[in-house]
Every structure is written in structure tokens, then in C-alpha cells.
Amino acid sequence: MAQALQPLDDAPGGSAGRSIELLQGAPALTLLLFLGPVAAGLLGTWLPAVGHFPALGLSGPSLAPWQALIADPALPGALKLTLTSGLLGTLGAILLVIAFVAAFHGSLWLARLRRLMLPLLAVPHAAAAIGFAFLLAPSGWLIRLISPWASGWTRPPDVALIQDPAGLALAAALVVKETPFLLLVTLAALEQSNAGERLAVARSLGYRPVAAWLKTVLPAIYGQIRLPLYAVLAFSLSVVDMALVLAPGTPPTLAVLVLQWFNDPDLSMRLVAAAGASLQLGIVVLAILLWRLLEILVGLLGRRWIAGGRRGDLLEPATRALAGTVMAASMLLAAGALVGMALWSLAGRWRFPDALPSLWTQANWLREADGLLASGGVTLLLGLASTVIALVLVLACLENECRRGLQPLNRSLWLLYAPLLVPQVAFLFGVQVLAVKLRIDGGWIALIWTHLLFVLPYVFLAMAYPYRALDKRYERAALCLGASPNRVFFRVKLPMLMRPIMIAAAIGFAVSVAQYLPTLFAGSGRFVTLTTEAVSLSAGADRRIVACYAFAQALLPLLCFALALAVPAWLYRDRRSLRGAT
């Protein structure tokens, strides 16, 4: 990324032309646009955390906010909940992905699953959490399906199946929601390693498939999935919207607690909130370090295990059965969540323990039509704007890298991942203060900009490999025929890359749709998206209405993915190799 983002150190030659100069500005502009707010936001959060808050007449430094934070009765419980749900969620997701890919490498199931992953990736976190709650709550659909004929329950059981004090429901939802991302990343890493050859060699030495994969492929690709994995870890430890729906409230997770402090009518609590936000960053950093230690430990043990030369006969059936079952259950849950939301949105009356609504109606959709259209419109505009900007910047950076002949380095990916590794609550408050200072808060600019912070990395990740992998000979041939670099870009590269571009755009759009906290902070609450609406309603409002918003929220990115697949297929209906196979 830094290679792609690296501005030129030597001045452009006179023959380079304006467009080249513009292109050379792209990396610097991109860096500024997207690391600037993160840095400023962190600073704007750290200052109040050490007691510097001129608005309340406070100019630190002071340790008081930290003392208040540590003395807070809810903190120990919140930390425990945060760590359990975040670590279990991440660990569960990555173990599931590794076990599944190891067990089903090269099988038809993996290919089928891969096609399912994109739409699942597109379902926003909030919608997934709400659907999950509809399904798993003691009064949820699953219990309704077995009550009272099988369970004997005429009233929902008094068991905390969601919002459980240990945070297991949140952890489970995180596993379901993060598995698609990690699986896609793993599959992409596989494509760039010689997994086939490695497996063939290992198999010829008598290793069973799972052991062969774990011993020869995993060590080779883990480096590539490490950063995305850290991003998942950071996200799981600091997620707000899913925690609001699925985690208990007394105490809530640290991120939710921080949000509550930010919104406390007692304004001095803002300092404690800032300290809490900084602590949240510390927790994430610590968790990543811990994970790294764990990696080293597993690496050491793993090396002995690999060198031990066991062929893994015992490992085989258990892994296949377990990974297959858990993956299937996780997919079923995701699908059930979507169907459950659709049913609730069409329910007139659906009391426990009826398996299906006793009264069907389209009135919910009609009654909320105005609100759905308005918030859907904002969601759409926001997603399109941030995606288009991200796409332009990413393509400019990649084209610059390509024309300068720079070699991409893996290490530089850290820069790209910065907004994904820093917890949102840790810098969004500072971003808000910055936006208010610049007088752009509560406006489209601040909102689109904030969304861009999260959209850009994903668009870059999705675009980088296909762009760099494009056969250079096409470009050279076009240049030889006298086309200018720009003409080559627009007439050769863009059309050839249409499919990955559309997919990257769809991913970017889905990321934008899913943003809850950034929309809340940068939009000053004035911008109502399907996401903010679904989350704020999910606290207790009419399930039928919550279902409408959550379903619409899930539907929008799904439609976008469908479009992303359909457009190139239609454009290139008579050009088979441009349509793309998967």
C-alpha cells in the first residue's frame, strides 16, 4: 500500500503531462484524507482523557478521568464481557475457517460456499444481530417452532439465550458474521500460494488431507491473513451496534459503556468517556499483542508437530464432521435470521408460541414507507458517494504504482489497515470535535468523509490483487499501438477489470451501509440511515417495524452485489473471458 501510496520523490519530467502530475498527487491525497482524521481523532480523544477540556473550563493534565474510570463499578464486568465476546468471537471464526478450509480444500463444497460468502459478507452487522436475536431469543422463532408441542413451553423459558451475562450470544453472532470475511481472505491467500503443489507433495508422503493442509499450507498463508484477522479482532472487541442488540446492558461492553458516558447528561463524564475510549484502544493493542504471542507459541508447538511427522489419521474424520456441521449451522443461522426478519415484517400479530404469524399484513411496510424511503435514500446516496470516491482514489493509487513500476510490499498494508485496527470509539469523538471546528459536522461532507475511512481500505483490498495481477502485456501492446497511458487505462484496463471493480464497489457499498457509529457521530444524528434507524428501534420498539428496517438494510447491499455480478455479465455478454467465471 505504501508503495501504491508513495508519492514521487523526483520531480516529474516535462513530458509527463498534467494527468501524470495529478496521479502523483493521488497517494498523498489518499493518505491525508484517510489517515489525517484518524490521527486528529485520536488526539482529540486523548486530550480530554488527560483532563484537557477547555469547554468545561478544564486544562489538564490530570489523572482524574482515569481515576474515575478505574473506580467505575461497571468497568470490571464490562471488560470481562468485552474480552470474552471479542476473543471468543474471533477465535471461533478463525478456527472454523481454518478447520473448514483444511477439511474441504479442493472440494465442491468449498466452491459452493465461496459463492454464498459474498452475499453473507454484504449483510450489515446490525441486521445480522437483529435477525439473530429474533431467532435465538427465548421468545424467538427457534423456540416457537418447538413450542409447546415438543418443549412443553407455553411461556418463553426464563433463560438468557441472548443478552447473556457472559456475552456468548454476541460471540456466536460474531463468529457467524466474521466467518465470511475471513474465509474470503483465506481463499484469496490460497490463490497466491502454491497450495495445490504443497498438498500434492504432502499427500504423496502419506499425510491425510487435513494434516497435509495444516502442516504445509497454513504456515505459508497465515502471514497473509494475519492483518485481516487483527482487524476482525479489533472490530470484535469494540463493536457497538451488535453489542447493543445482543450483549447485556448491565453492564454492557466497554465500547457501549464509553458511548453511554459520551452521552451522559453530566458533562464531566465526557472526560471519563475519553479515558474509556483510550482504554478501548489499549485493550485492542494488548489483545493483538497477546494474539501475536499466541501465534508464536502455536508456531513453536506447530513446528514440533510438523517435524514429528504424524500423518494425522485421527484428525481427519473429527475435523471434517465438526467443521462441516458448525459451518452448516452457521450458514443456516444466517439464512434463518434473514427469513425471520422477513416474516416479522409481514406479521400483523405473532404471539408466542405460534410458529408463524397468526395475522399477515403488508401494513408494516406501508406505514413505514416514508421513513424507509427517506432513510434508504440517505443510505444509498452515502454508500454511492463514498464508494465512488474510494474507487477513484484506489484506482489512481494503483495506476500510479503501476506506471512508476513500484513493487507492493506486504508490510505497508499496515497503513491501509489503520482505520480498521483502531477501535471506532477511540477516535470518532475526536473526529466529531474536528468536524464541529471545521463547521462541516452534520453535513454530507463530514459524513461521506467518515464513511470513506472505512470504505477505502476494503475497496483497496478488493482491487489490489486483480489490478496487480492484470497481464502487463495488454498494456504494453496498447502502448506500442500508439495509445497514451490514459487511453490505455480507460480503454483497456478499466473494461478488462470491470468485474473486480464492480465487486470492489459492491463491497465498499456494503461497508458504508453497515456503518453505525460513524454515521451517528459525523451526522450529528441528523442523518437517518437504515442502519441507525434499525439499531435505535431494536432497543425495544415494535418488532414488526424493526424487522422492516433491518430487512431493508440487509436487502440494499444484497441488491448491490447482484447488480455488481449482473452488469459485467450483461455488458460482456458476447465476450466470454471478460465475464469472469466465479
List residues binding other proteins (CB under 8 A).
53-56, 73-74, 76-77, 138-139, 154-156, 158, 160, 163-165, 248-251, 262-267, 270, 348-349, 351-352, 359, 367-368, 370-371, 432-433, 436-437, 439, 441-442, 524-526, 528, 532-533, 536-537, 539-543, 545
**Minimum CB distance to other proteins smaller for 61 or for 525:** 525
Smallest gap from Cβ 305 to other proteins, in A, equals: 42
Least distance in angstroms from the C-beta of 62 to other proteins: 17
How many Cβ atoms are within 10 Å of 390's Cβ, its own excluded? Answer: 32
User: Whole-number minimum distance, CB 291 to other proteins, in Å?
Assistant: 28
Q: For 152-156, which contacts have Cβ atoms below 8 Å and span 24 or more sequence positions?
A: 153/353, 154/353, 155/352, 156/352, 156/353
Q: How far is the CB of 143 from other proteins (least distance, A)?
A: 10
Nearer to other proteins by Cβ, of 330 and 538: the residue is 538
Euclidean distance between CA atoms 508 and 503, whole angstroms: 9
Nearer of residues 378 and 459 to other proteins, judged by Cβ: 378
CB of 65 to other proteins, least distance (A): 16
- Using CA atoms, how far residue 26 sits from 30, 396, 502, in Å, is 6, 6, 21
Based on CB atoms, which residue is closest to other proteins, 108 or 159? 159
Q: What is the signed CA dihedral for 213, 216, 218, 221, rounded to 10 degrees? A: -130
Q: Which of 411, 413, 424, 414 is nearest to 453 (CA)?
A: 424
- Tell me how far, at minimum, the Cβ of 24 lies from other proteins, in Å: 35
| Residue of 266, 258, 264 lying closest to 56 (CA atoms) | 266
The nearer residue to other proteins, 5 or 522, going by C-beta atoms, is 522
Judge contact between 262 and 270, C-beta under 8 A. yes
Q: 374 CB contacts (<8 Å, ≥6 apart)?
A: 528
Q: Which of residues 150 and 581 has its CB atom nearest to other proteins in the complex?
A: 150
Task: Kindly tell me which of 116 and 145 has the beta carbon lying closer to other proteins.
Answer: 145
- Burial of 189-216, coded b for 16+ CB within 10 Å and e otherwise, reads bbeeeebeebbeebeeeebbbbbbbbbb
* Smallest distance, other proteins to C-beta of residue 141, A: 12
Nearest to other proteins of 261, 460 (CB atom): 261
Q: Which residues contact 523 (CB under 8 A, 6 or more apart)?
A: 442, 446, 447, 532
User: What is the closest distance, in whole angstroms, from the C-beta atom of residue 72 to other proteins in the complex?
Assistant: 8
Distance CA 502, CA 566 (A): 10
Given the complex with other proteins, which of 424 and 536 has the nearer CB atom? 536
b/e sequence 75-101, b meaning 16+ C-beta within 10 Å: bebbbbbbbbbbbbbbbbbbebbbbbb
Residue 47 vs 97, nearer CB to other proteins:
47
3-state SS track over 185-224? HHHHHHHCCCHHHHHHHHHHCCCCHHHHHHHHHHHHHHHH
Question: Min. distance of Cβ 78 from other proteins in angstroms?
Answer: 9
Cell digits for 282? 489499549
CA distances, 538 to each of 133, 369, 553 (Å): 10, 18, 13
Residue placing its CB nearer to other proteins in the complex, 204 or 250: 250
Smallest distance, Å, CB 447 to other proteins?
13
Cβ closest to other proteins, residue 371 vs residue 495: 371
Please give the DSSP secondary-structure letter assigned to residue 63. S
How near is the Cβ of 36 to other proteins at its closest, in Å?
18
Residue type, 337: A
Q: Which of 27, 13, 32 is nearest to 406 (CA)?
A: 27
**445: number of Cβ within 10 Å:** 14
Instruction: Give me Rg for the CA atoms of the chain.
Output: 25
Q: How far is the CB of 427 from other proteins (least distance, A)?
A: 15
Contact 500, 581 (CB under 8 A): no
